[in-house]
Amino acid sequence: MRVGVYVDGFNLYYGARALSGAAPGWRWLDPRALAQRLVDGPGAAWSGEVERVVYCTARISGAGNEGDQRDQDTYLRALRLAGALDELTLGQYVTRVATAPLAVADRRGRPRLVRADWPLQVRDTSDRDVPSASFMVSVARREEKGSDVNVASHLLIDVLTDRVDAVVVVTNDSDLAFPLAHARTLVPVGTVNPTPGFTAGKLRGEPAEGAGGHWWCRLTAADVGAVALPERIAHLRRPDGW
């Protein structure tokens, strides 16, 4: 069985960081080794040979973090030199200023707006308290754009052109629910949640629907720790702290 594996790089990055406790080595991952480990692992309903590894990410901005940008470039070059992927597709990394109400997380992680209350109160021009007032804040937002679209595009193109017999997608992005649902009508699909949280409900389906043979599993700290690239690849060396 020819298996295509499609990785949302930023989703994997943040998930691997949380799973590993940010211990050295967690960023220096080999996507091909990880792909084969997942396909051969206990969470998979079938096994096969990884035919294609497509890695979708974006180059981060060098504004204010030139060292991080340099380290990421080293990693992306190392992936190519090591043959750890078949295709690298880059989206965009956007930095902007956003304005939003000040909020804190409730017990379930949902936003709860912060209202004016003592010791920080708001008064109107008549010197009267405004207890229902909210606070607006401006924050710097750094966002990756395009990886979900790139993952979906590569996956569907490969399935529709009969390039692969089954697919595995590494993401917990619910925006991919529709393309994954369509892919399940044509081939077996494995979905790997790379984060410590619950798998997004929209990504779930039924194992026997469509082509059948679908499965879902979660990445583990053991997976992250088992698939590091060599410390040196040609002239490149793993960045300090990676």
pLDDT computed for residue 64 by the predictor: 67
pLDDT average, residue stretch 206-219:
96
pLDDT computed for residue 241 by the predictor: 84
* Residue 183, H or E segment: helix 177-184
Alpha carbons 213 and 208: distance in angstroms, whole number: 6
pLDDT average, residue stretch 18-37:
92
Are the C-beta atoms of 212 and 15 separated by less than 8 Å?
A: no
Please determine, for residue 63, whether its predicted confidence score (pLDDT) is greater than 80.
no
Q: How confident is the model at residue 23 (pLDDT cuts 50, 70, 90)?
A: confident
Give residue 203's identity as a one-letter amino acid code. Answer: L
State pLDDT tens for residues 160-196.
999 999 999 999 999 999 999 999 999 999 999 999 9
Alpha carbons 216 and 218: distance in angstroms, whole number: 7
pTM of the complete model: 0.83
DSSP H helices in 114-176: 147-160
What residues does 131 pair with on adjacent strands? none
Give residue 166's identity as a one-letter amino acid code. Answer: A
Q: How confident is the model at residue 96 (pLDDT cuts 50, 70, 90)?
A: confident
pLDDT computed for residue 100 by the predictor: 83
Are the C-beta atoms of 234 and 209 separated by less than 8 Å?
A: no
Please determine, for residue 94, whether its predicted confidence score (pLDDT) is greater than 80.
no
pLDDT computed for residue 236 by the predictor: 95
State pLDDT tens for residues 98-128.
788 999 888 877 888 988 888 888 888 888 8
Provide the 3-class DSSP secondary structure of residue 36.
helix
Query: Which has the higher per-residue pLDDT, 218 or 60?
Result: 218
